[in-house]
Structure 1
Amino acid sequence: MKNSVLYIRTDANEVIATGHVMRCLTIAEEYRKKAGEVCFIVSDENSAKMIDRRRYNVIVTNTKWNSVDIESEYKLLKHKIRRSDWLLIDSYHIYSSYAARIKQLLNVVVFDDMFSEKKIADVIINYNVFYRRFDYLNRYKHEKCILLLGEKYVPLRKQFREIEPEINVRKYERPKILLMCGGADKPNLIYETLQYLKENKPELFLQVDWKIVVGSFYSNIDQLNLLIQGYLNIELLCNVENMAALMNKCDLCVTAASTVLYECCAMLLPTLFFVVSEDQKYDAEVFSKDNMLLYCGNYMDGKKEALKRMEVVLSKIVKNREQQYKMKQMMKKFVDAKGAERIVAALMGEKNE
Structure 2
Amino acid sequence: MSAPFPALGIRADAGARMGIGHVMRCLALAQAWQKRGGEVVIYTHAEAPALMERLQQEGLTTIKLRHEAGSLDEAREVASLAADAGLPWLVADGYHFSPDYLAALKGSGVKLLVLDDLATIDLTAADIVLNQNAYASEAMYPGVKRLLPGARHALLRREFVASDRPRSAEPREASEIIITLGGGDPDNVTLKVLKLLSGFTLRPLKLKVIVGAANPHLDSLRSASSGPHQVELLVNPSNLPDLMKHAHVAISASGSSCWELACLGLPMILIITADNQRGVAAKLDELGIAEVSGWHEDFPAADTLARITAFLDDQPRREQISMLGRKLVDGHGAARVVEAMLHHPLRARHATIDDARLLWEWVNDPEVRASAFNTAPIPWDGHLAWFTRRLEDADCLIAIIVDESGTPVGQVRFEGEGDLVIVDVSVAPSARGRGHAAAVLRLGLGLLFEAPRWQHVEAWIKTSNTASQKSFARAGFRRGEEKDMHGLPAIGYHLSRHEFF
TM-score normalised by structure 2 residue count:
0.63
**Closer, same or farther: CA 207–65 of 1 in aligned 2, 3 Å:** farther
**How far apart are residue 180 of structure 1 and its match?**
1.0
After superposition, residues 16-165 of structure 1 pair within 5 angstroms as 16-46=18-48, 48-65=52-69, 67=71, 69-70=73-74, 72-74=76-78, 76-77=80-81, 80-82=84-86, 85-105=88-108, 106-119=110-123, 120-132=125-137, 134-136=139-141, 138-140=142-144, 145-163=145-163, 164-165=165-166
Partner of 1:216: 213
Of the candidates 234, 238, 241, which is equivalent to residue 241 of structure 1?
A: 238
**Closer, same or farther: CA 7–78 of 1 in aligned 2, 3 Å:** closer
**How far apart are residue 63 of structure 1 and its match?**
4.0
Could you tell me whether the CA contact under 8 Å between 1:110 and 1:121 is conserved in 2? yes
Could you tell me whether the CA contact under 8 Å between 2:200 and 2:305 is conserved in 1? no
Cα-to-partner distance string for 1:71-102 (whole Å, 9 max, x where unaligned): 651564265232x5211001111122111112
Could you tell me whether the CA contact under 8 Å between 1:12 and 1:19 is conserved in 2? yes
Partner of 1:175: 175
Mapped partners of 1:338, 1:325: distance in 2:
23
Could you tell me whether the CA contact under 8 Å between 2:70 and 2:98 is conserved in 1? no
Counterpart AA for 1:101: A
**How far apart are residue 54 of structure 1 and its match?**
2.2
Mapped partners of 1:309, 1:65: distance in 2:
42
Could you tell me whether the CA contact under 8 Å between 1:167 and 1:329 is conserved in 2? no
Partner of 2:452: none
Partner of 1:274: 271
Mapped partners of 1:293, 1:319: distance in 2:
15
**How far apart are residue 18 of structure 1 and its match?**
0.6
**How far apart are residue 2 of structure 1 and its match?**
6.1
Could you tell me whether the CA contact under 8 Å between 2:207 and 2:229 is conserved in 1? no
**How far apart are residue 187 of structure 1 and its match?**
1.9
**Closer, same or farther: CA 283–61 of 1 in aligned 2, 3 Å:** same
2:189 maps to 1:189: yes
Mapped partners of 1:265, 1:107: distance in 2:
31
Q: Choose 1 or 2 for highest CA Rg.
A: 2
Of the candidates 316, 319, 322, which is equivalent to residue 325 of structure 1?
A: 319
Of the candidates 13, 16, 19, which is equivalent to residue 14 of structure 1?
A: 16
Mapped partners of 1:227, 1:8: distance in 2:
38
**How far apart are residue 194 of structure 1 and its match?**
0.7
Mapped partners of 2:126, 2:75: distance in 1:
18
**How far apart are residue 170 of structure 1 and its match?**
2.9
Q: Secondary structure at the match of 1:219?
A: coil
Greater strand content: 2
2:204 maps to 1:207: yes
Mapped partners of 2:70, 2:187: distance in 1:
20
Gaps of 5+ in 1: none
Mapped partners of 1:175, 1:74: distance in 2:
48
2:316 maps to 1:314: no
Mapped partners of 2:68, 2:306: distance in 1:
43
Counterpart AA for 1:318: L
**Closer, same or farther: CA 154–34 of 1 in aligned 2, 3 Å:** same
2:328 maps to 1:334: yes
Could you tell me whether the CA contact under 8 Å between 2:195 and 2:225 is conserved in 1? no
Could you tell me whether the CA contact under 8 Å between 2:293 and 2:299 is conserved in 1? no
Mapped partners of 2:69, 2:75: distance in 1:
15
**Closer, same or farther: CA 64–226 of 1 in aligned 2, 3 Å:** farther
Partner of 1:261: 258
**Closer, same or farther: CA 100–323 of 1 in aligned 2, 3 Å:** same
Mapped partners of 1:121, 1:249: distance in 2:
40
Q: Secondary structure at the match of 1:235?
A: strand
Gaps of 5+ in 2: 344-438, 448-501
Counterpart AA for 1:169: E
**Closer, same or farther: CA 96–152 of 1 in aligned 2, 3 Å:** same
May I ask how many residue pairs the two structures share in their alignment?
Answer: 340
Could you tell me whether the CA contact under 8 Å between 2:79 and 2:106 is conserved in 1? no
Counterpart AA for 1:333: K
**Closer, same or farther: CA 78–194 of 1 in aligned 2, 3 Å:** closer
**How far apart are residue 20 of structure 1 and its match?**
0.5
TM-score normalised by structure 1 residue count:
0.88
Aligned-CA RMSD value = 2.4
Mapped partners of 1:44, 1:327: distance in 2:
35
Counterpart AA for 1:37: E
Mapped partners of 1:104, 1:309: distance in 2:
54
**Closer, same or farther: CA 179–71 of 1 in aligned 2, 3 Å:** closer
Q: Secondary structure at the match of 2:136?
A: helix
